[in-house]
Amino acid sequence: MIRDILLVPDARLKTSCAVVCDFGDSLRALIQDLEDTMRAGVGSVGVAAPQIGEMWRVAVVDTSEHRKFGPQSQGFFALVNPQIISREGEREGREGCMSLPDFTANVRRAFAVTVRFQDVEGQWREIRCEDFEAVAMQHEIDHLDGILFLDRVANLQTDVFPRKANRK
């Protein structure tokens, strides 16, 4: 089911989320809602549970449909209790967020990350991502810690921009 996205300044977006311990039907339903909501968003490559008002450490990421970076994508990921266990390099790129739809910003992130997470069954997995996919992972995991992309902007006056018209 497509869910409404919480918008800044909703306080839940600045709150750390709880660890998932129950890997049952409610988790599966939450992941499905996150996927449906992400796919309904124009240009969206990820969404985290707190963005739909669910305060659990769950996010989905899929960069495969991105017009520029899609060919390098590893596909769809449902991330439960994710944590970044290593970071390499640095890149700066323009980011947007469904919870702050009117703005984009230049954000510095690691160029590559290794993410450890549980799947829907509770099994631990690791994935190494680079470039845009790594950025998407970092962005969504930040949401689970109550961090917004604007919190990572060096200069709010020079690095934040009104969003251009949305296109898919």
Q: Where are the domains of the chain?
A: 11-162
Q: Which CATH class is domain 11-162?
A: alpha beta
Whether 168 shows a pLDDT value over 50: the answer reads no
pLDDT tens digits along 59-108: 999 999 998 888 999 999 999 999 999 999 999 999 999 999 999 999 99
- Number of neighbours of residue 76 by Cβ within 10 angstroms: 14
Catalytic pick among 54, 95, 133, 140? 140
Alpha-carbon distances of 55 from 17, 18, 48, 59, 70, rounded to whole Å: 5, 6, 9, 11, 29
Catalytic residue list contains 65: no
pLDDT tier for residue 154 given thresholds of 50, 70 and 90: confident
* Pair of tokens at residue 2: 């497509």
Q: Model confidence over 21-46: pLDDT tens digits?
A: 999 999 999 999 999 999 999 889 99
